[in-house]
Structure 1
């Protein structure tokens, strides 16, 4: 790929920051902490994940369209970043037993995290060129995974020292995550700038809605974009669901008393280590086998992981499951982002990444809801993971309809 530029490094560093949130809040510490607030009902977190996803999905296209105007993108990015960081730290001050307030703060952190990612992802077109996008995007996820080990490892040590059943350790973990996220965002704010934009015009908000309507009306001009988004809607549902529900699922299937929760958190740390080189490998292999080819491989890996997850009955199985998930997680997310960035009109990147997030967030409503619902209906959490497999299969089939070579659609989308 060659030496990274200062702008590319600064963009990648934000992934290093917000991955701490994804690891500590979404995947590990908060699900356990929520279970301590609302004993025995950790799978209910799936419902609240769905609420947060609905809210950001509704906001995404409108915010993205407005942010395409000159000098607007970074302002929106900073607002949502601050919302996420402030309320991540605020999770630590929720009084014991007030799980409703904990959920409210968590939803605000999720909106901040997802909202800032709309604009962060769209900054990819301002950060590098098409030839480097797969590798730069993959590097973001890869270094994000490996960097998140540091704050998460510190948080694990604090939780261990304070006691696994004590609130204070988890609360300090939330503060550590917020500080880490904030510090690694500073280079992004200083060095990454909006290069592709629409000039500011009178009545910008009403004009934004007009542009949004035209995009829907002229959907045939962007057929490849929307076919890809349809595929993405299905397969990213499974990816996001596994990220959010891995701990509650394992806890429910294996039972809280049958294994040491601290060991499970350690396994999640191992996933991050595996994901680091695998995300970079996906980026490099995309040059030989195309991004589409590597997405197929990643989706297939997730299907295998779901089948294996159904059969787990010992702590050692989680290591194997973690390896499967870690090997595909970063690659699928990174190449989805870079493939999409290459086929959209760059001056409308925020608007189109708004759609990208709509499809992703509405997809994320289905998976956690299915897992929570199946568990409630059957009383057996193990069955819930099987409900995710059809979504990967549908994503695989729809993805067959998009071209391997993004150059074939570049003129088409720039009309």
Structure 2
């Protein structure tokens, strides 16, 4: 009897240690969102786009020279982002295969993290006279950010049970919003400081993003587990083509699962809209939205745009939590469908947005659904993976490629329409079409899905 009691006490002790370790790993995973979301907010969404527009002209549709190519300033930035995401979409399958075979997924996550962080630091040297440096460094930073997320997302089904994944995914985004807002507030203080060099405050913000990203990422790198190599995959094929081969195999599996297949297609279409809005919002605000100052309407600057983006980030925290809660009650697909309809309304409102007050109201609406749709999309995909899937990296590589290609096509379409009509408002109409396509496919998914909880 005593032996049985000792065994039970030992088992309970091991269970406690396991749960404590698991919690620590999950928190560390979420901390990577805290680290890298500083890039997403400062470089992608606020300071860098506003700074770029300001130093390249701002008013009307100014042209810039990029290695001799003369193009509208905002169009150049949009094209460069589309190219950066196209590169990462091509690289992701290759590097996912290498990490899977060699068992060093964490190493590649580190590589991309360091690449992106150092590129952000390089932006400190971006001034009006060297536009090429700014564009190239921003592209490399985007590649680093997206590349690390391939491996970061692949950890989700490995460190959390299916019933935990919605909550943990939302927790990651919540950590990201809190961390990025804290750094943004620090940058905000610099922007309001009186420096002799008018560009110094913005460039210092870029430097701080790299330091923040690099520093806090160490928490995740310390606690996240490694992954053993897949010896089956090591038996055949070149490592440089294996990634695409694995994507082909994964897609063949996906084709046999109607819900997952159609969900990915829906995700592809509505992501074209969501991701483009997130990447182009600040550029749109800088060029298309005005404020009334001293009897005249003038363009918004970084000091006007940062509060709008902060509103989005702060509202996004309860928004992500609310969507996770609604998904638990109503099902993931129904909630995603409702949110996509809401996004269509946002795009229509954006087309008619001309003043800073309207822009701030629009920011509240975007915040309510921005983080939630990303978090819920990721966890829905994770839930739809076949039971007992061990090669999560390949499945999430497919997910990541779909997302990145949606950004490529979304940003390219947005830039092309602006290039033709020299107005972002017509580009917004194209985004509405993408959301309608995503909504239509989600309606079909709702008909064919039978899994409880979805």
TM-score by length of 1: 0.91
Unaligned runs of 5+ residues in structure 1 are: 411-415
Question: Cα 1:375–1:207, aligned 2, differ >3 Å: closer, same or farther?
Answer: closer
Unpaired segments of 5 or more residues in structure 2?
A: 1-18, 59-72, 292-297
Query: In the TM superposition, what whole-angstrom CA distance separates every residue of 1:90-122 from its partner, at most 9, and x where no partner exists?
Result: 111235411112111111110000000011011
Would the alpha carbon gap of residues 59 and 208 (structure 1) be closer, same or farther in structure 2, given more than 3 Å must change? Answer: closer
Is 1:352 aligned with 2:395? yes
Deviation at 1:34, TM superposition (A): 1.7
Output the CA distance in 1 between the equivalents of 2:276 and 2:393: 25
Q: How does 1:42-81 map onto structure 2 within 5 Å?
A: 42-69=74-101, 71-81=103-113
Equivalent residue pairs, number: 409
Evaluate the alpha carbon distance shift between residue 162 and residue 127 of structure 1 in structure 2; reply closer, same or farther with a 3 A threshold: farther
Report what 2:166 is aligned to. 134
Aligned to 1:101: 133
1:228 aligns with 2:258: no
Shift of 1:226: 2.8
Cα distance change, pair 170–369 in 1 and its aligned pair in 2 (3 A):
same
Q: CA deviation at 1:374?
A: 2.2
Which secondary structure state, in structure 1, belongs to the residue aligned with residue 445 of structure 2? coil
CA RMSD between the two structures:
2.6
Q: Secondary structure at the match of 1:312?
A: coil
Written as runs of structure 1 = structure 2, the 5 A alignment for 1:10-49 is 10-40=28-58, 41-49=73-81
* Shift in Å, 1:50: 0.5
Are 2:199 and 1:167 equivalent residues in the alignment? yes
Go from structure 1 to structure 2 and tell me whether the alpha carbon gap of 1:218 and 1:353 turns closer, same or farther (over 3 Å shift). closer
Equivalent residue, structure 2, for 1:251:
286
Out of 332, 341, 344, the residue aligned to residue 373 of structure 2 is 332
For 2:93 and 2:230, locate their aligned partners in 1 and report how far apart those are by CA, in whole Å: 16
The question of 1:361 aligning with 2:399 is answered no
Aligned residue for 2:391, secondary structure, equals: helix
Bigger radius of gyration among the two: 2
User: Residue 178 in 1 paired to residue 210 in 2?
Assistant: yes
The 10-residue stretch of structure 1 (210-219 or 129-138) with the greater mean CA deviation from structure 2: 210-219
The separation in 2 between residues aligned to 1:209 and 1:132, in whole angstroms, is 30
Q: Give the Cα–Cα distance (whole angstroms) in 2 for the partners of residues 214 and 354 of structure 1.
A: 12
Indicate conservation of the 8 Å contact 1:62/1:212, yes or no. no
